[in-house]
Amino acid sequence: MGAMIGAAGAQVGARRPGRPRNRGPSAEYTARLAEIVEVAAKVFRERGYDAGSLDDVASELNLRKASLYYYVRSKAELLYLIFDKTITSALDSIEKCLSIQDPRERLAALIRHQVVMVASEPSFFTVFFDQRPRLARNYDSEILAKEKQYLRVYQEAVATAVDNGVLAPMRARYGAQAILGMTSWIYKWFDPDRDDPQAFADACVDMIMAG
Amino acid sequence: MGAMIGAAGAQVGARRPGRPRNRGPSAEYTARLAEIVEVAAKVFRERGYDAGSLDDVASELNLRKASLYYYVRSKAELLYLIFDKTITSALDSIEKCLSIQDPRERLAALIRHQVVMVASEPSFFTVFFDQRPRLARNYDSEILAKEKQYLRVYQEAVATAVDNGVLAPMRARYGAQAILGMTSWIYKWFDPDRDDPQAFADACVDMIMAG
DNA sequence: CCTACCGATCGGTAGG
DNA sequence: CCTACCGATCGGTAGG
């Protein structure tokens, strides 16, 4: 059993008494890494991935650049971690829309979800959308697979909406990309002093499902 | 008169006989500069503005990097020229939609225009949209003013469509950004082997103006 | 439009 | 998590 490696002296099949020893990275390490990823997203949003330096990221954390390498293998991995956090939490949070049965209500919920999510995490989504081609090849397929999974949720909701007369007939791919474009685009123009994500989400819903 | 400077010996008010001497840059210079801007857009699309080097641009033109400085003051100016060409030709080409009187047809034409235009110039629009924050401060206000002018065209078309019952009531700003997002987003997913801009444009029109 | 070159920045490593 | 440092790249200039 892989899990027994390093458990020298333990009886075979016997459970170690008391709380199991923590495996993997410590809670402090995990928290610090999350902080680094957060700051990196902010820096890469403001200066771009290539122009935003690891010195920029480190100094905003009161660290030296070399210290980042205790947490991260490379700058490319740091970008990957931003992408992974973004798409993973997007996939997680979209789950709640899938329990909605009514085709119209489900599509409306998906639209509102995308608008509110993107507007609430501008750094992560700006990097995710604008720096997508900068992601290193070795990380690409994993992120791409999750993006496709995400897109499929919208495609299926569109197809169902078309079948039920909620939307005009159209290719599910086009309908899904139209909706994702309309909603995600908010990261380029949203001004918190002026705009309200909920109101914009309502406008999107009204626009494509008037009545 | 500024135009007379350097025209020594010409009689005041008298027109120089024959074809007027060419002012400003030669036709060869202008054509070569346009070629440089085109290649730069391609390079910056593929590698990003910061990671795409002037050596990359030059070598694709069979030039040395230093030669680019005969045409351009700086890398930042080269990026500006890409932005200027993009937004200027967008403003020019949108004119033809403004002659359409019917509110529904005008909005449909604007939607189709944006889809087809973005899909037909992927390098320029990818740089325009993704590298917007990299544009140097001294060029920003000029481009921003033209972007606002462009947005206003869509806002007015939305407002008219709302007034005529073509669209559900909504803030013109939200309606315009929703439409520009839905249509412009195509630069991120369009696959020429798979997708047809005209068909996508029709889907967009159907989606927001069904019936 | 070219050759030759400079100064600065930056990702990453050694070694602690 | 730090100090010290290296190698490579790159925008830009001199001078023709």
Cα distance between the two ends of chain B: 60
Say which nucleotide is closest to residue B53, CA to C1' distance: D10
Footprint on protein of nucleic strand D, Cβ below 7 A: A 32, 58, 62-67, 69-71; B 51-55, 65-66, 69, 74-76
3-state SS assignment for residue B88: helix
B1 CA to C2 C1' in angstroms comes to: 39
CA distance, residue A188 to nearest chain B CA (Å)? 9
B3 — pLDDT class (breaks 50, 70, 90): very low
Q: Which CATH superfamily is domain A27-208 in?
A: Tetracycline Repressor, domain 2 (1.10.357.10)
The protein footprint on chain D, as nucleotides within 7 A of a CB, is 1-4, 9-15
CA distance, residue A92 to nearest chain B CA (Å)? 23
CA distance, residue B11 to nearest chain A CA (Å)? 56
Whether A184 and chain B come into contact, CB under 8 Å, resolves to yes
B211 — pLDDT class (breaks 50, 70, 90): low
Residues from chain B that touch A202, judged by Cβ atoms under 8 A, are: 170
The parts of chain A modelled with pLDDT lower than 50 are 1-14
Q: Mind spelling out the 3-state secondary structure of chain A?
A: CHHHCCCCCCCCCCCCCCCCCCCCCCHHHHHHHHHHHHHHHHHHHHHCCCCCCHHHHHHHCCCCHHHHCCCCCCHHHHHHHHHHHHHHHHHHHHHHHHHCCCHHHHHHHHHHHHHHHHHHCHHHHHHHHHCHHHCCHHHHHHHHHHHHHHHHHHHHHHHHHHHCCCCCCCCHHHHHHHHHHHHHCHHHHCCCCCCCHHHHHHHHHHHHCCC
Residue pair B115/B204 in contact by the 8 Å Cβ criterion: yes
Report d(CA B205, CA B134) in Å as an integer: 33
Say which nucleotide is closest to residue B67, CA to C1' distance: C1
> For A184, which residue in chain B has the nearest alpha carbon?
B181
CA distance, residue A54 to nearest chain B CA (Å)? 15
Q: What is the pLDDT of residue A55?
A: 98
Footprint on protein of nucleic strand C, Cβ below 7 A: A 51-55, 65-66, 69, 74-76; B 32, 58, 62-67, 69-71
B8 — pLDDT class (breaks 50, 70, 90): very low
Whether B122 and chain A come into contact, CB under 8 Å, resolves to no
A124 CA to D9 C1' in angstroms comes to: 28
Is B177 within 8 Å of A167 when comparing Cβ atoms? no
Report d(CA A31, CA A142) in Å as an integer: 23
Residues from chain A that touch B129, judged by Cβ atoms under 8 A, are: 188
User: Residues B16-58: pLDDT tens digits?
Assistant: 565 566 677 889 999 999 999 999 999 999 999 999 999 999 9
Q: What is the pLDDT of residue B17?
A: 60
Average pLDDT on B4-21 reads 45
Average pLDDT on B80-85 reads 98
pLDDT at B15 over 80: no
Q: What is the pLDDT of residue B210?
A: 82
Domain ranges for chain B, please list them: 27-208
